[in-house]
Amino acid sequence: MAEDDAISNGIPDAWITDGDCWCVVIENKVLSDASADQLTRHREIANRLGFDEPNILLLTIKPAAPEIAPLAKVVEWRAVYKWLLNFSDNHVWAKRVSDYLEVIEGRLVNEEQLRSGTMTAFNGIDFSEDKQFSYTEAKRLLGLAMTELRARKDLIAEIGMNPHLSGRSAITGRDADSVWDFLQTNDADEERNFTRAPHLTLGIHRTRLSAMVTMPNALRRPALKRLVGRGRDGFRELVRTVLTNMKPIMRDCPGMEPRFHAVQRRYPSQRSVPFEDAVINFDLRTCFEDEGPPKAQPQWLEAIYDCLARKKSNFQTQIGAWFPYRTCDGMRKPEALDYVARTWIACGPLLEVIRGENH
């Protein structure tokens, strides 16, 4: 029977009964919302069949409307998923169902059918030699991670993350080795101005997760002037402060790499794939004689400063951390997002300088 016909006839998605006086009527909603009329019809049919007090269960991917609560027990799929994870190590069917939910959600996300709500919850990133990187799975994990990070009060309070401003309009690149998105801060006074203000970038790559504060090419001139106006030594000490802030995270998540990444791009046309004309990428510990290993090579940071101070090209810089899956066991747990948030917060002194709060 077609779905519309099933709805009009009040047929539920599942019915469990002891054959006598007890039953559970199950309605599942993923791509559409539940209606009070449909749930009422389920109850009326159960009553006509002799079940005076049927149990109506609504499975959904997002909170139901207020008028639904008196009609059914509402359970979100993400709660079911978390419950299954508690048993998946020892019960094969719990593992199979939780894996199935991940696969079906990944497909729905990749096909852009799942625009709100989730069937699963972020449970870490477990790409490894045994489980190779998958673009579809990475895109699913990215969406879950960004939803949770957007709701974090510490990011809002400590570095001015603005949860009401959007990130990327679409996550594309089906054959790519990574997916990424960003959160905006209050520095973006208008949503369209994210390219002129620093933002918080999260990337899920084939071999690592990255959490970076991005200073875009079009960073407002006063902000750039405040950054380089501290002079070479002042810029160096600012980076040292950020590195010092990251040390507790490095202790709690062994294998984390504090990073600076800068790239010069060239766009043949507005919609074309850019050329990368130059890339500088280094561990922050190389900037200082007393922070190794790795061995010190402070000229890397000096090159960044010189490029910012004499900027003539499309030049984007990022500071933050990489979390390689091979060395960071913490990435395989839900707490991975704590490390991400703490990394962005550790970069707070840089954001303060850009805003003119500490100049």
Considering the domain boundaries, does residue 210 fall inside one?
Answer: yes
Considering the domain boundaries, does residue 335 fall inside one?
Answer: yes
CB atoms within 10 A of CB 290: 7
pTM of the model: 0.88
Low-confidence residues of the chain, pLDDT below 50? 1-7, 359
Domain boundary, last residue among 51, 80, 109: 80
Give the pLDDT confidence score for residue 4 in this predicted structure: 47
Considering the domain boundaries, does residue 124 fall inside one?
Answer: no
Considering the domain boundaries, does residue 123 fall inside one?
Answer: no
pLDDT digits (tens, 9 = 90+) for 82-96: 999 999 989 999 999
Give me the domain span that covers residue 223.
Answer: 152-355
Same domain, 246 and 158: yes
CA-nearest of 287, 267, 269, 266 to 277 is: 266
Instruction: Assign residue 268 the CATH number of its domain.
Output: 3.30.930
How many domains would you assign to the chain? 2
Domain boundary, last residue among 25, 45, 80: 80
DSSP character at residue 253:
S
Same domain, 216 and 71: no
Cα-Cα-Cα-Cα dihedral of 97, 100, 105, 108, to 10°? -140
Give the pLDDT confidence score for residue 8 in this predicted structure: 52
Instruction: Assign residue 20 the CATH number of its domain.
Output: 3.30.70
CA-nearest of 232, 192, 242 to 212 is: 242
pLDDT digits (tens, 9 = 90+) for 186-234: 988 665 667 889 999 999 999 999 999 999 998 988 899 999 999 999 9
Domain boundary, last residue among 49, 64, 80: 80
Same domain, 158 and 45: no
Considering the domain boundaries, does residue 13 fall inside one?
Answer: yes
Beta carbons of 185 and 161 less than 8 angstroms apart: yes
Same domain, 209 and 342: yes
CB atoms within 10 A of CB 14: 11
d(CA 121, CA 138): 13
Give the pLDDT confidence score for residue 359 in this predicted structure: 47
Same domain, 175 and 52: no
Secondary structure tally for the chain: helices H, strands E:
11, 10
Considering the domain boundaries, does residue 126 fall inside one?
Answer: no
Considering the domain boundaries, does residue 121 fall inside one?
Answer: no
Same domain, 331 and 195: yes
Considering the domain boundaries, does residue 139 fall inside one?
Answer: no
Return the biggest CA–CA distance within the chain: 82
Same domain, 186 and 316: yes
Same domain, 326 and 179: yes
Same domain, 201 and 332: yes
Distances (CA, A) of 257 to 80, 181, 211, 316: 35, 20, 10, 20
